[in-house]
Amino acid sequence: MQTVLITGCSSGFGLEIARHFLDQGWQVVATMRTPDTAILPPSERLRILALDVTDEASIRAAIEAAGPIDVLVNNAGIGMLYPLEATPMATARQLFETNTLGTIAMTQAVLPAFRARRAGVIVNVTSAVSLVPLPLLSVYTASKAAVNAFTESLALELEPLGIRTRLVLPGRSPSTRFGQSARQRMQAEVPEVYAPMIESVFGAARGDGPVTYGEDVVRAVWRAVNDPSAPMRIPAGADAEELAASI
């Protein structure tokens, strides 16, 4: 029986990915900052661990507690939609600490065991917004695009060792906490000149058009894990597929 460790399982895509792997008979290590908020169904094949991907000690403890794993899904991330001029550098650092360096740190932590077995799969969940330039997303996009470059370069290092790496790029999802998370980071006062753009972008996000659903991301992650012939970048969701086809 194979084991997958998934980060960011308290809600959204991580929660649905964990549920799917459980349904498929896998052993699942579901990690999150606050395990007491977990809403996963009880199972003898499920372990829920505390994990803060920005904290080295937390990563070390989680990896030790998890034991041998076959797959790492780096899903944990935070969002932000804001003009750069009004973005505090502390907030920009927070995005990179979680979205970029957290992914790198988790990947580094599992590599010794994967290398020793000459087997393992790493799936990094980024975002389809990294495929095209969009306003108000410069810092968030940069944090995700960096993971894209990291993953593609890392694949060249790890393939000779029997370790596969893949990217899953979800589009806009109305069912996750991205919008709420992004708004919580809109603390600084914004120059009035940006107001029409902010309203336009948030209006577009609330509008009609193709979106990404949890099952889209679940399918993409499942394919990345189980199909060695899957492409490096796997768009997840109708809008993500449209963006990928346009470049």
Q: Catalytic site residues?
A: 140
Neighbours of 46 (CB within 10 A): 18
Torsion of Cα atoms, 129 then 130 then 134 then 138, to 10°: 120
Which candidate, 199, 209, 184, places its Cα nearest to that of 78? 184
Other CB atoms within 10 Å distance of the CB of residue 162: 12
How far is residue 158's CA from residue 217's CA, in Å, rounded to a whole number? 24
Rounded to an integer, what distance in angstroms lies between the CA atom of residue 83 and that of residue 91? 12
Is 219 within 8 Å of 234 (Cβ atoms)?
no
Under 8 Å CB-to-CB from 33, ≥6 apart: which residues?
Answer: 10, 50, 51, 52
